[in-house]
Amino acid sequence: MDSKFNYPTEIKGKRKLYSLFKGVKNPLEVISGNHQFAGDNYYIKASFTNKNFIFSQDKEFVEYILKQNHKNYYKSEIQSVTLGKYLGNGLLTNNGKDWLKQRRLIQPGFSKAKIASLVNIMEEEIDKSFQSFDVNTEADLYDFFHTLAFNIVAKTLFSSDIDENTVKELGKNITEIQEVFAKEVRLPFYSQILKIFGVIDKNIQKSKRSKDIIQGVLDKRRNSGEEKNDLLDMLIQTRYEDTNLPMSDEQLVDEMLILFIAGHETTANALSFIFFEISQNPEAEKKLKQEIVEESENIFTTESLMKKSYTSNIIKEAMRLHSPAWAIDRQALEADSFQGYSWPKDTLIILYITGLHRNPKYWDKPNSFIPERFDDENAKNFAYYPFGAGPRLCIGEHFAMMEMALIVRKFYKNFSFISYQKQLEKKALVTLRPTSLKGKIIKNLA
């Protein structure tokens, strides 16, 4: 360890070897175990790459990195380079002035007013998808929500019809890309093996195919001559302030790909976790259905969906327990220090959101599902960051919250869900996802 810097407790020896190898398949188990051993902040030096990593589930440290001193931190090479070679140079992977320029262009498409105008389109897609449910229907809600969320993104953001087979192909490509990416990041030496056997090249081809599909959506819109006043029209027509030029097709496709992925995958994963928790907590379902009755004809209005409610409490609590954005990575542009710790330039900071959200220092009964905790008047100050924080707060937060509230209320107005699973098997890739959510959908006969 470099004596010039004062790192947190170091993970070394057998625990370090265990972390490096076991972390490939079970990162949540390993990182949580290391925090239990070392405290809310710990340090590990990667033997093969010689890189410094600091992991944190400490609220003040997280806020320092994401808010107070955010200018000293970029998205790490893990995302900007390794993931960027698959997903391009969109909002998720971009950095610095280029990121800020893109954010300013895209932000107007996600204003509350713009999102409010999309409720009817969302309702149409949700109602259509629920038509497949009979009195008793067996289903894997994880698969169901991925298809539904993808269709909602396609219709609301791009007004585009993409056939079911293409949806499945894109979803399959995204999953396979993430699985290879996870191996590249967690076992850097293994990436050489992946290269030798052509896995990296195959992954890049899957990415290219996904981008070709999205280019087709873009070309179809341009050739149609139609104006649909959606996000795609805005992206096509918007101009950079300094040059008055539009985005290049390459940049447009990269942004669209990121919005497709972020707009459907994290929401679908979150919905799976939400419905699982409701299925395990009958009292929460009872209170949710009571609120649906009390809201009456206002139940699906924008005002009702966006206001603080028991519905939103359920969503927030499920995302606390199972945050799809399970970790946030940053890379130090210059050496830095905080509360007695110090670290050099290029240190990789992993903000462990899953650990923060279950840290007993900040949460009473941290592993219990208690939606009512978000009634607290101090809830805005909770150690709670499912959408990140600071300037890089997720651009689609309001879109996702409204979409999830609408789906939850639409479903529980007419149905209940009995999960066959008492525990969820989770997979931590770029996002945290369950492997399935199988059960029975019961239609209300009253």
- Are 135 and 157 found together in one domain? yes
Q: Is position 394 annotated in a ligand binding site? A: yes
Position 161 scores a pLDDT of: 61
Burial of 246 (0-12, 13-18, 19+ CB in 10 A): middle
**Residues 245-265: pLDDT tens digits?**
888 889 888 888 888 877 888
pLDDT at res. 20:
79
Residues 6+ apart with CB under 8 A from 262: 92, 394, 396
- Same-domain pairing of 64 and 84: no
Q: How far is CA 371 from CA 248, 286, 392, 423, in A?
A: 45, 13, 26, 19
How confident is the model over 128-156, as a mean pLDDT?
A: 90
Query: CB of 52 within 8 A of CB of 347?
Result: yes
The sign of the CA dihedral 20, 22, 23, 24 is positive
Which of 337, 364, 385 terminates a domain? The answer is 385
128 with 6, same domain? no
Q: Is there a single domain that holds both residue 115 and residue 241? A: yes
For residues 226-238, give the mean pLDDT. Answer: 80
Q: How does 402-412 read in b/e, with b if 16+ C-beta sit within 10 Å?
A: bbbbbbbbbbb
Q: Which amino acid is at 319?
A: M
Query: Residues with Cβ < 8 Å from 188, sequence gap 6 or more?
Result: 46, 48, 49
Find the angle CA(409)-CA(436)-CA(311) to the nearest 5 degrees: 20
159 confidence band (pLDDT: 50, 70, 90): confident
177 and 82 in a common domain? yes
Buried b (16+ CB within 10 A) or exposed e, 312-346: bbbbbbbbbbbbbbbbbbbbbeeebebeebebeee
Angle at the Cα of 194 from the Cα atoms of 190 and 197, rounded to 5 degrees: 135
Indicate the pTM of the whole model.
0.91
Let me know whether 195 and 48 are in one domain. Answer: no
Per-residue pLDDT, 375: 95
Share of the chain above pLDDT 90, in %: 55
Looking at residue 307, what is its pLDDT? Answer: 93
Whether residue 247 sits in one domain with residue 231: yes
Last residue of a domain, one of 366, 385, 404: 385
Q: Tell whether the model's pLDDT for residue 72 goes beyond 80.
A: yes
What does the alpha-carbon distance between residue 152 and residue 270 come to, in Å, rounded to a whole number? 15
CA angle 177/182/184 to nearest 5° reads 95
Q: For residues 102-124, give the mean pLDDT.
A: 86
| DSSP line for 335-360 | -EEETTEEE-TT-EEEE-HHHHHT-T
Joined tokens for residue 61: 């440290």
205 plus 279 within the same structural domain:
yes
3-state SS, residue 74: strand
Mean pLDDT value across residues 313-323: 98
Q: Is the pLDDT of residue 180 over 70?
A: yes
The pLDDT score that the predictor gives to residue 190 is 61
230 and 293 co-located in one domain: yes
Q: What is the CATH number of the domain that holds 32?
A: 3.30.43.20
Average pLDDT over residues 331-343: 96
Q: What is the predicted pLDDT for the residue at 398? A: 92
Confidence at residue 349, expressed as pLDDT on a 0 to 100 scale:
97
**SS3 of 244, please?**
coil
The whole-number pLDDT of residue 80 equals 75
228, 276: one domain: yes
Average pLDDT over residues 46-60: 90
* Parent domain of 346: 1-75+326-385
Residue with tokens 């991925």: 146
- Give pLDDT, residue 7: 97
Q: What is the mean pLDDT of residues 346-358?
A: 97
With CA atoms as reference, report the closest residue to 145 among 267, 314, 288, 319. Answer: 267
* Final residue before a domain boundary, out of 385, 404, 432: 385
End-to-end Cα separation, the chain, in angstroms: 67
Average pLDDT, rounded, for the chain: 89
**For the chain, how many structural domains are there in total?**
2
Work out the average pLDDT over 124-137: 92
Instruction: Provide the CATH number for the domain around residue 211.
Output: 1.10.630.10
pLDDT tens across 182-207, in order? 777 666 566 677 777 788 888 889 88
Residues 104 and 146 in one domain: yes
More confident residue, 1 or 318: 318
Q: Does 251 lie in the same domain as 137? A: yes
**pLDDT reported for residue 188:** 59
